[in-house]
Copies of this chain bind each other. A is one copy, B any other.
Amino acid sequence: MAHKLRLIPLGGLGEIGKNMMLFEHGDDALLVDAGLMFPENDMLGIDYIIPDFRYVLERKDKVRGIVVTHGHEDHTGAIKHVMQQIDAPIYATPLTRGLLEVKLRDARLFDRVTLKTVNAGDSETIGPFGVEFFHVCHSIPDGVGLGLTTPAGLIVHSGDFKFDHTPVDGWPTDYAKLAEFSGRGVLALLSDSTNADKAGWTPSEAVIDPAFDEVFRQAPGRILVATFASLISRIQQVLNAAYRHGRKMALVGASMVENAKMAQKLGYLTVPEGMLIPTDEALRLAPAKVVIMTTGTQGEPSSILGRLSEGRNRQFDLIANDTIVLSSHPVPGNEEMVHRTINKLLRRGARVIYDPIAPVHVSGHASAEEMKLLIHLVKPRNFIPIHGELRHLTQHAAIAREVGVPADNIAVVENGTVLEFENGRLSVGDRIPGGYVYVDGSGVGDIGPSVMREREALAQDGFVIVNLRVNKTGKLADKPEIISRGFVFVRDAEEMFATAQEQIAAAIDRLNGAAASPQALRDRVQQSLSDFFYAELKRRPMIFTLINEV
């Protein structure tokens, strides 16, 4: 075989290969996932982040297909951006396909995209790649891992997975398939590293049931459960608990209602007759007969939970004896907002239950012992940790060494680093652009480090505009006009600004019409003002001087 198989994890903050992964062989390529990530706290004004996939675009005619492993945003959220520019069929299981459909319709792309439905257990030939889809448990139903028969050998991609022996949908990860792969000989395993620093075994989703039973037994009034809109299995669990305890349930919030409808239609959510009721009907029932499920677990001020925490929700408000359950963990970076929301809900008199107060949430990702089991099941020749920050990959590599994978056969790399396979050997190749691209409003990639530095500076100390009217001899025609935002509370700073006006006038006077250029005048004014404000307040606002000859 003349060509090497090239495998490239692509962009999206620190998480490696999570949002996108490219398999490349000669004139053919296969893309796995097309997700987004949410910005970190210091990425000011950014809406979300997508992989920098210009390398893929430069060879877009080679792309034979796009496989999406499951329906979470970090694997599907960039599909619009990808499908606007690449013409290749998408392969996904029914639920994942359903969720992609919604996105593609929103982006008015549905009509020109080919969506192919596959089921766990199916095989597809996509260019030179034979793709076997196998079921994995995760916090959304219908997730798959991939067995990729490539010209270089068999590569197993875990997807996002956990080994749950008692999953909500009763469908465990496909151990038999994994063992069968190992019989065939696996060139490399790519495995989810999210929880590599968690010892032991991630608890089954089943542990949540008794926790909910306890909550339901003790709740004196209404129960409001908040979780992620895509956590279909959690919706099922709460529905089941409501059924056991004689309560009806209403879903509130467009995304959750949409997802539940889609899941119910496709058979991924089982709703006993009459259990799911409209919100207005739920609000008329006795409080002890109701469960309301909604979103807002990340402390988003615009979510229903966020609005309830501040008494700003229009359709309904908190009432006495409400119990609120946060069936979720804060996404890293959101801790402050989540905790603030909990405090506000408590302040408004609600009872609030969340992990670790009670085990009302478990992770959807494998912990260390499950990672070891996967390696033993698959027996890969080479091991490539993916889906996690560098620190998770490093720890996952340590786990792999612990269970016998030779250190030389493990590659810990970052996004944009090409991994190559030749004659069964794994090597690290060149680097391609594999970072991330900011999406802000409708601008994709136009915001870079310089604009971000400006936003940072503005956020720190605000700015000051000085508007000068100068006559032909370089003298001030009238008092300088000063405008500021984000710098001081203007009404309390009138005296300081009056002094600033005098300082400017004095600085211009000293020049005595002798400024070599408007730029020299501007520099003089800005320096004098900057020194003045620093002496007054130890702050350094951005200063702009406009010079108008009148």
Q: Given A391-B339, A537-B443, A548-B550, do A486 and B462 touch, yes or no (CB 8 Å)?
A: no
Query: Which B residues lie within 8 Å of A544 (CB)?
Result: 465, 483
| Pairwise interchain contact B357-A451, C-beta atoms closer than 8 A | no
State whether B44 touches A460 (Cβ < 8 A): yes
User: Does the CB pair A347–B546 fall under 8 Å?
Assistant: no
List the B side residues contacting A335 at CB < 8 Å: 332-333, 335
Shortest CB-to-CB span from A194 to chain B, Å, is 13
B460 in contact with A45 (CB, 8 Å): yes
Which residues 472-523 of A sit at the B interface, judged by CB distance below 8 A? Answer: 481, 483, 485-489, 492-493
User: Is there contact, CB below 8 Å, between A336 and B346?
Assistant: no
A443 to chain B: which residues have CB within 8 Å? 488, 537-539
Q: Does A467 contact B (CB under 8 A)?
A: yes
Residue of B nearest to A483 (CB): B544
Residues A352 and B391 in contact in the complex (CB < 8 Å), given A441-B539, A489-B448: yes
Asked whether B539 lies within 8 Å of A440 as measured between CB atoms, the reply is yes
- A463 interface residue (CB < 8 Å to B): yes
A200–B537 Cα distance when bound, in Å, is 48
Pick from B340, B343, B457, B538: contact of A442, CB below 8 A. Answer: B538
- Residues in B neighbouring A14, C-beta threshold 8 A: 339-340, 343
Chain B hits for A446, CB < 8 A: 488-489, 492-493, 537
User: Which of B197, B333, B390, B455 is in CB contact (< 8 Å) with A462?
Assistant: B455
Which residue of chain B lies nearest to A412 when distances are taken between CB atoms in the complex?
A: B346
Please measure, in the bound complex, the distance between the C-alpha atom of A262 and the C-alpha atom of B451, giving whole angstroms. 45
Whether A458 contacts B467 by the Cβ 8 Å rule is no
**B389 adjacent to A339 (CB under 8 Å):** yes
From known contacts A44-B459, A333-B335, A442-B538, infer whether A486 and B546 are also in contact, taking CB-CB under 8 Å. Answer: no
Collect the chain B residues with CB atoms within 8 Å of residue A447's CB: 488-489
A463 touches B442 (CB 8 A): no
**A389 CA to B341 CA in the complex, in Å?**
11
Residues in chain B near residue A414, CB distance under 8 A: 347
B residues in contact with A352, CB < 8 Å:
391, 394
Docked pose: A40 CA to B442 CA in angstroms: 29
Cβ of A390 and Cβ of B539 under 8 Å apart? no
* A319 contacts B by Cβ under 8 Å: no
> B488 near A356 (CB under 8 angstroms)?
no
> A199 within 8 Å of B by Cβ?
yes
Q: Which residues of chain B are within 8 angstroms of A546 by Cβ–Cβ distance? A: 465, 467, 481, 483, 546
Q: Are the C-beta atoms of B454 and A485 separated by less than 8 Å?
A: yes
**Residue in contact with A486 in the complex, picked from B389, B391, B455, B538, CB distance below 8 Å:** B455
Could you tell me if A469 and B332 are in contact, using CB atoms closer than 8 angstroms? no
How distant is the Cα of A443 from the Cα of B539 in the complex, in angstroms?
9
Which among A40, A389, A459, A492 has the greatest number of chain B C-beta atoms within 10 A? A459
User: Can you name the residue of chain B whose Cβ is closest to the Cβ of A390?
Assistant: B343
A303 within 8 A of B: no
| A308 CB to nearest chain B CB (Å) | 16
Interchain CA distance A537-B441 in the complex, whole Å: 6
Indicate if the CB atoms of A465 and B462 lie closer than 8 Å.
Answer: no
Check A459/B346 contact, CB under 8 A, given A333-B335, A339-B332, A542-B485: no
Interface string of A269-311 (1 = CB under 8 A from B): 0000000000000000000000000000000000000000000
CB distance from A386 to the nearest CB of B (A): 15
Q: Would you give the shortest CB distance from A547 to chain B, in whole angstroms?
A: 9
A interface residue numbers (CB < 8 A to B): 14, 40-42, 44-45, 197-199, 332-333, 335-336, 339-340, 342-343, 346-347, 352, 356-357, 389-391, 394-395, 414, 440-443, 446-448, 450-451, 454-463, 465, 467, 469, 481, 483, 485-489, 492-493, 536-539, 542, 544, 546, 548-550
**Pairs A–B under 8 Å by Cβ, sample size 27:** A14-B343, A40-B336, A40-B340, A41-B336, A44-B486, A45-B459, A45-B460, A197-B356, A199-B356, A332-B335, A332-B336, A335-B335, A346-B390, A347-B414, A440-B539, A441-B537, A441-B539, A446-B489, A447-B489, A451-B487, A451-B489, A455-B460, A458-B459, A458-B462, A458-B486, A463-B463, A465-B546
The 10 closest A-B pairs by CB, nearest first: A441-B538, A459-B459, A458-B458, A454-B486, A455-B486, A44-B459, A45-B460, A343-B390, A441-B539, A41-B41
